[in-house]
Amino acid sequence: MPRAKAMSSSRAEAPPSALQPARILFSGIKPPHPDCATKIYQELHEFEEFQLSDNSHRPSSFEDKIHGFTQLLTYESLAKLVYLHAALMETLRPFPAIPLNFKLAVTDDVLPSGAVVKRGSTVSYVLYCMASVESIWGSDASQFRPERWRRDGAWDFSVSPFKFTAFQAGPRICFGKDSAFLQMKITAALLCRFFEFQLVSGQILTYRVMDTISLVNGVKVTISNCT
Ligand code: HEM
Protein backbone atom coordinates (compact mmCIF):
# COMPACT_ATOMS: atom_id res chain seq x y z
CA MET A 1 0.00 0.00 0.00
CA PRO A 2 1.31 3.49 -0.79
CA ARG A 3 1.00 4.69 2.82
CA ALA A 4 3.07 1.77 4.04
CA LYS A 5 5.70 2.33 1.37
CA ALA A 6 6.18 5.86 2.60
CA MET A 7 7.54 4.49 5.87
CA SER A 8 11.02 3.27 6.60
CA SER A 9 12.13 1.42 9.69
CA SER A 10 14.43 2.78 12.37
CA ARG A 11 13.95 3.77 16.00
CA ALA A 12 11.44 6.36 17.12
CA GLU A 13 11.97 8.38 20.28
CA ALA A 14 9.00 10.34 21.62
CA PRO A 15 6.16 8.89 23.74
CA PRO A 16 2.77 8.69 21.96
CA SER A 17 0.96 11.54 23.66
CA ALA A 18 3.90 13.87 23.15
CA LEU A 19 3.80 13.32 19.39
CA GLN A 20 0.19 14.13 18.60
CA PRO A 21 -0.04 17.89 19.30
CA ALA A 22 3.07 18.37 17.20
CA ARG A 23 1.57 16.31 14.40
CA ILE A 24 -1.74 18.17 14.45
CA LEU A 25 0.14 21.45 14.11
CA PHE A 26 2.89 20.52 11.74
CA SER A 27 1.79 17.71 9.50
CA GLY A 28 -1.95 17.46 9.78
CA ILE A 29 -3.30 20.92 9.31
CA LYS A 30 -1.10 23.61 7.81
CA PRO A 31 -0.88 24.48 5.01
CA PRO A 32 -3.02 21.66 3.46
CA HIS A 33 -5.91 22.34 5.84
CA PRO A 34 -6.03 26.08 6.57
CA ASP A 35 -9.79 25.95 7.23
CA CYS A 36 -9.26 23.45 10.02
CA ALA A 37 -6.51 25.56 11.57
CA THR A 38 -8.75 28.64 11.41
CA LYS A 39 -11.59 26.75 13.13
CA ILE A 40 -9.26 25.64 15.92
CA TYR A 41 -7.99 29.19 16.46
CA GLN A 42 -11.57 30.49 16.39
CA GLU A 43 -12.79 27.90 18.89
CA LEU A 44 -9.94 28.78 21.25
CA HIS A 45 -10.70 32.51 21.08
CA GLU A 46 -14.41 31.88 21.74
CA PHE A 47 -13.49 29.52 24.57
CA GLU A 48 -11.28 32.18 26.17
CA GLU A 49 -13.96 34.87 25.88
CA PHE A 50 -16.61 32.54 27.33
CA GLN A 51 -14.44 31.46 30.27
CA LEU A 52 -13.41 35.02 31.12
CA SER A 53 -16.25 36.94 32.69
CA ASP A 54 -16.72 40.64 31.91
CA ASN A 55 -15.08 41.53 35.21
CA SER A 56 -12.10 39.26 34.69
CA HIS A 57 -8.69 40.83 34.85
CA ARG A 58 -7.30 40.95 31.29
CA PRO A 59 -3.51 40.71 31.41
CA SER A 60 -1.59 42.77 28.89
CA SER A 61 1.80 41.07 28.63
CA PHE A 62 2.21 37.97 26.46
CA GLU A 63 3.55 35.91 29.38
CA ASP A 64 0.69 36.93 31.65
CA LYS A 65 -1.85 36.08 28.95
CA ILE A 66 -0.36 32.60 28.64
CA HIS A 67 -0.43 32.19 32.41
CA GLY A 68 -4.04 33.42 32.54
CA PHE A 69 -5.08 31.05 29.77
CA THR A 70 -3.59 28.04 31.57
CA GLN A 71 -5.87 28.86 34.54
CA LEU A 72 -8.91 28.41 32.26
CA LEU A 73 -7.93 24.86 31.24
CA THR A 74 -9.76 22.53 33.61
CA TYR A 75 -11.06 19.01 33.13
CA GLU A 76 -14.59 20.39 32.65
CA SER A 77 -13.72 23.36 30.44
CA LEU A 78 -11.55 21.31 28.10
CA ALA A 79 -14.63 19.25 27.22
CA LYS A 80 -15.96 22.35 25.45
CA LEU A 81 -13.12 22.25 22.90
CA VAL A 82 -14.98 19.85 20.63
CA TYR A 83 -13.47 20.95 17.32
CA LEU A 84 -9.97 20.53 18.76
CA HIS A 85 -11.03 17.09 20.03
CA ALA A 86 -12.29 16.18 16.54
CA ALA A 87 -9.04 17.43 14.97
CA LEU A 88 -7.03 15.27 17.38
CA MET A 89 -9.20 12.22 16.64
CA GLU A 90 -8.77 12.92 12.94
CA THR A 91 -5.00 13.20 13.42
CA LEU A 92 -4.74 9.95 15.36
CA ARG A 93 -6.89 8.16 12.77
CA PRO A 94 -4.36 8.31 9.89
CA PHE A 95 -1.30 8.86 12.11
CA PRO A 96 -1.78 6.49 15.07
CA ALA A 97 1.10 6.82 17.51
CA ILE A 98 1.38 3.02 17.45
CA PRO A 99 0.98 2.41 13.71
CA LEU A 100 1.17 -1.38 13.59
CA ASN A 101 0.83 -4.18 16.10
CA PHE A 102 1.34 -7.92 16.48
CA LYS A 103 -0.49 -10.46 18.62
CA LEU A 104 0.61 -14.02 19.35
CA ALA A 105 -2.09 -16.69 19.61
CA VAL A 106 -1.67 -18.65 22.85
CA THR A 107 -4.32 -21.16 21.74
CA ASP A 108 -5.91 -22.17 18.42
CA ASP A 109 -8.46 -19.55 17.43
CA VAL A 110 -10.75 -18.44 14.61
CA LEU A 111 -11.01 -14.80 13.50
CA PRO A 112 -14.46 -13.26 12.83
CA SER A 113 -13.65 -13.60 9.11
CA GLY A 114 -13.41 -17.38 9.57
CA ALA A 115 -9.63 -17.45 9.18
CA VAL A 116 -8.09 -20.12 11.37
CA VAL A 117 -5.22 -19.03 13.60
CA LYS A 118 -3.06 -21.81 14.98
CA ARG A 119 -1.52 -21.64 18.44
CA GLY A 120 1.87 -19.90 18.25
CA SER A 121 0.96 -17.93 15.09
CA THR A 122 1.46 -14.18 14.92
CA VAL A 123 -1.34 -11.96 13.68
CA SER A 124 -0.38 -8.45 12.67
CA TYR A 125 -2.42 -5.46 11.60
CA VAL A 126 -1.38 -2.07 10.31
CA LEU A 127 -3.48 0.75 11.72
CA TYR A 128 -1.62 3.25 9.52
CA CYS A 129 -2.99 1.57 6.39
CA MET A 130 -6.46 0.88 7.81
CA ALA A 131 -7.10 4.64 7.96
CA SER A 132 -7.27 4.82 4.16
CA VAL A 133 -9.49 1.75 3.70
CA GLU A 134 -12.78 2.98 2.23
CA SER A 135 -14.80 -0.02 3.43
CA ILE A 136 -13.96 1.10 6.99
CA TRP A 137 -14.05 4.92 6.72
CA GLY A 138 -16.02 5.65 3.56
CA SER A 139 -15.05 7.19 0.24
CA ASP A 140 -13.34 10.15 1.98
CA ALA A 141 -11.13 7.81 4.04
CA SER A 142 -7.92 9.42 2.80
CA GLN A 143 -9.04 12.95 3.59
CA PHE A 144 -8.25 14.78 6.81
CA ARG A 145 -11.75 15.86 7.78
CA PRO A 146 -12.58 16.56 11.47
CA GLU A 147 -16.21 17.00 10.41
CA ARG A 148 -16.43 13.22 9.93
CA TRP A 149 -16.90 13.13 13.72
CA ARG A 150 -20.28 14.85 13.41
CA ARG A 151 -23.49 12.87 13.21
CA ASP A 152 -27.02 14.29 12.91
CA GLY A 153 -25.74 17.81 13.49
CA ALA A 154 -23.80 17.05 16.70
CA TRP A 155 -20.26 15.99 17.53
CA ASP A 156 -20.12 12.27 18.21
CA PHE A 157 -16.87 10.67 19.35
CA SER A 158 -18.47 7.37 20.43
CA VAL A 159 -16.80 5.25 17.76
CA SER A 160 -16.15 1.54 18.25
CA PRO A 161 -12.53 0.99 19.36
CA PHE A 162 -12.42 -1.86 16.84
CA LYS A 163 -12.86 0.78 14.11
CA PHE A 164 -10.88 3.68 15.61
CA THR A 165 -7.97 1.52 16.72
CA ALA A 166 -5.38 4.13 17.80
CA PHE A 167 -5.83 2.97 21.42
CA GLN A 168 -6.60 -0.62 20.46
CA ALA A 169 -9.60 -2.53 21.72
CA GLY A 170 -10.60 -5.38 24.00
CA PRO A 171 -8.86 -6.37 27.22
CA ARG A 172 -5.58 -4.61 26.32
CA ILE A 173 -7.15 -1.29 25.35
CA CYS A 174 -5.02 1.70 26.39
CA PHE A 175 -5.70 2.57 30.03
CA GLY A 176 -4.50 6.11 29.46
CA LYS A 177 -6.84 7.15 26.63
CA ASP A 178 -8.66 9.89 28.57
CA SER A 179 -5.44 11.10 30.12
CA ALA A 180 -3.84 11.18 26.66
CA PHE A 181 -6.66 13.35 25.30
CA LEU A 182 -6.33 15.70 28.26
CA GLN A 183 -2.59 16.06 27.70
CA MET A 184 -2.99 16.50 23.95
CA LYS A 185 -5.75 19.09 24.31
CA ILE A 186 -3.89 21.14 26.92
CA THR A 187 -0.72 21.17 24.84
CA ALA A 188 -2.46 21.84 21.52
CA ALA A 189 -4.74 24.52 23.04
CA LEU A 190 -1.79 26.44 24.48
CA LEU A 191 0.32 26.15 21.34
CA CYS A 192 -2.53 27.05 18.96
CA ARG A 193 -3.82 29.93 21.10
CA PHE A 194 -0.48 31.71 21.39
CA PHE A 195 1.58 30.71 18.37
CA GLU A 196 1.16 30.42 14.63
CA PHE A 197 3.06 27.76 12.76
CA GLN A 198 4.01 27.79 9.09
CA LEU A 199 5.60 24.83 7.40
CA VAL A 200 8.91 25.67 5.71
CA SER A 201 8.23 24.85 2.06
CA GLY A 202 10.12 22.32 0.01
CA GLN A 203 10.37 19.64 2.69
CA ILE A 204 9.74 15.98 1.99
CA LEU A 205 8.06 14.55 5.07
CA THR A 206 8.83 10.85 5.39
CA TYR A 207 7.45 8.74 8.20
CA ARG A 208 9.40 6.02 9.91
CA VAL A 209 8.03 3.28 12.05
CA MET A 210 9.17 1.23 14.97
CA ASP A 211 7.01 0.84 18.04
CA THR A 212 5.82 4.40 17.48
CA ILE A 213 5.52 6.56 14.39
CA SER A 214 7.71 9.59 13.80
CA LEU A 215 9.25 11.65 11.01
CA VAL A 216 12.67 10.76 9.63
CA ASN A 217 14.02 14.32 9.55
CA GLY A 218 11.53 16.07 11.82
CA VAL A 219 9.64 19.09 10.51
CA LYS A 220 10.96 22.59 9.93
CA VAL A 221 8.50 25.32 10.84
CA THR A 222 8.53 29.03 11.48
CA ILE A 223 6.75 30.14 14.64
CA SER A 224 5.35 33.55 15.43
CA ASN A 225 3.55 34.88 18.49
CA CYS A 226 -0.20 35.22 18.25
CA THR A 227 -1.80 37.63 20.73
C1 HEM B 1 -2.00 9.50 22.14
C2 HEM B 1 -1.57 8.84 23.20
C3 HEM B 1 -1.64 7.35 23.39
C4 HEM B 1 -1.86 6.36 22.46
C5 HEM B 1 -2.12 6.50 20.95
C6 HEM B 1 -1.83 5.10 23.17
C7 HEM B 1 -2.03 3.88 22.58
C8 HEM B 1 -1.92 2.67 23.25
C9 HEM B 1 -2.01 1.35 22.63
C10 HEM B 1 -2.21 1.14 21.13
C11 HEM B 1 -1.87 0.42 23.58
C12 HEM B 1 -1.87 -1.12 23.40
C13 HEM B 1 -0.45 -1.62 23.19
C14 HEM B 1 -0.38 -3.13 23.04
O15 HEM B 1 -1.10 -3.87 23.74
O16 HEM B 1 0.40 -3.59 22.20
C17 HEM B 1 -1.70 1.12 24.84
C18 HEM B 1 -1.54 0.50 26.06
C19 HEM B 1 -1.45 1.15 27.25
N20 HEM B 1 -1.45 2.52 27.45
FE21 HEM B 1 -1.59 3.93 26.00
N22 HEM B 1 -1.58 5.34 24.51
C23 HEM B 1 -1.46 6.70 24.69
C24 HEM B 1 -1.23 7.37 25.89
C25 HEM B 1 -1.21 6.76 27.12
C26 HEM B 1 -1.11 7.47 28.38
C27 HEM B 1 -0.99 8.99 28.52
C28 HEM B 1 -1.14 6.53 29.36
C29 HEM B 1 -1.09 6.67 30.85
C30 HEM B 1 -1.54 7.74 31.48
C31 HEM B 1 -1.26 5.23 28.73
C32 HEM B 1 -1.32 4.01 29.38
C33 HEM B 1 -1.36 2.77 28.78
C34 HEM B 1 -1.31 1.50 29.50
C35 HEM B 1 -1.22 1.31 31.01
C36 HEM B 1 -1.36 0.49 28.54
C37 HEM B 1 -1.29 -1.05 28.78
C38 HEM B 1 -2.68 -1.62 28.86
C39 HEM B 1 -2.60 -3.16 28.97
O40 HEM B 1 -1.77 -3.77 28.30
O41 HEM B 1 -3.40 -3.72 29.72
N42 HEM B 1 -1.31 5.41 27.37
N43 HEM B 1 -1.73 2.47 24.61
10-residue mean pLDDT series, the chain (227 residues): 36 46 52 77 92 78 92 95 96 91 94 95 92 95 93 96 94 94 96 89 83 86 88
Give the CA distances from residue 206 to residues 25, 32, 76, 214, 216, in Å, rounded to whole numbers and listed in that order.
Answer: 16, 16, 37, 9, 6
Q: Is the CB of 69 under 6 A from ligand 1?
A: no
Measure 219 CA to ligand 1 centroid, in angstroms.
25
| Atom 21 of ligand 1, residue of closest alpha carbon | 174
Q: What is the DSSP string of 35-73?
A: HHHHHHHHHHHHHHHHHS-TTS----SHHHHHHHHHHH-
Q: In this structure, which topology does domain 15-193 adopt according to CATH?
A: Cytochrome p450 (1.10.630)
Tell whether omega for the bond before 94 is within 30 degrees of 0, i.e. cis.
no
| Atom 31 of ligand 1, residue of closest alpha carbon | 176
Q: What is the pLDDT of residue 15?
A: 46
